Amino acid sequence: MFRTIVVPVDLTDRNRPAVEMAAKLSTPSQGTIHLLHVIETIPGFSVEEEPEFYGRLEKRATEHLDSLSAPLSERGIRFEADVIYGARAKTILEEVIRIGADLLVIQSHRIDGERRGEGLGTLSHQVGLFAPCPVLLVR
């Protein structure tokens, strides 16, 4: 069982299986699941210069994290849900280190064996290659 699990999520429902897997793998009453959504900042379009634009994104992300975390709360599983800004892969890896995660659970997709090389540059594969802790790709 794992005590500190990070689950990066986007704004779709396809992350629910990753959140559920993290719940199954967390240490009851001692573990914490960290749901993390990273808002990719746009060069030349800073958060300080465009607070309304980024504020709308943050509000939507917070609402989605509330939806994803509701089943965890109902089951008494400890969690934290954070929305942060930055380059997604780099920021996720920095948070994994900062939090001291002992597992990263991330939703991924299957790669078609007939089209080798396609889909290898996705966020889940980038993070999976460079994570400083074990990684579970959920499909």
- CATH number of the domain to which 58 belongs: 3.40.50.620
Q: What is the dihedral of CA 69, 16, 84, 97, to 10 degrees?
A: 100
pLDDT for 96: 98
Encode the chain (139 residues) as per-residue pLDDT tens digits: 899 999 999 999 999 999 999 999 998 788 999 999 999 999 988 899 999 999 999 999 999 999 999 999 999 999 999 999 999 999 999 999 999 999 999 998 766 556 555 555 688 988 999 999 999 999 8
Q: Do residues 31 and 3 lie in contact, with contact meaning Cβ atoms separated by under 8 Å?
A: yes
Output phi, psi for 75, to 5 deg. -95, 0
Question: Which domain covers residue 57, as residue numbers?
Answer: 4-138
- Cα separation, 139 vs 133, whole angstroms: 19
- Cα separation, 92 vs 86, whole angstroms: 9
Report the chain's terminal Cα–Cα distance, integer Å.
Answer: 20
Which residues have C-beta within 8 Å of that of residue 59, sequence separation ≥ 6? none
pLDDT for 139: 86
- pTM score: 0.90
pLDDT for 113: 58
Structural domain total, the chain: 1
What are the beta bridge partners of residue 26? 2
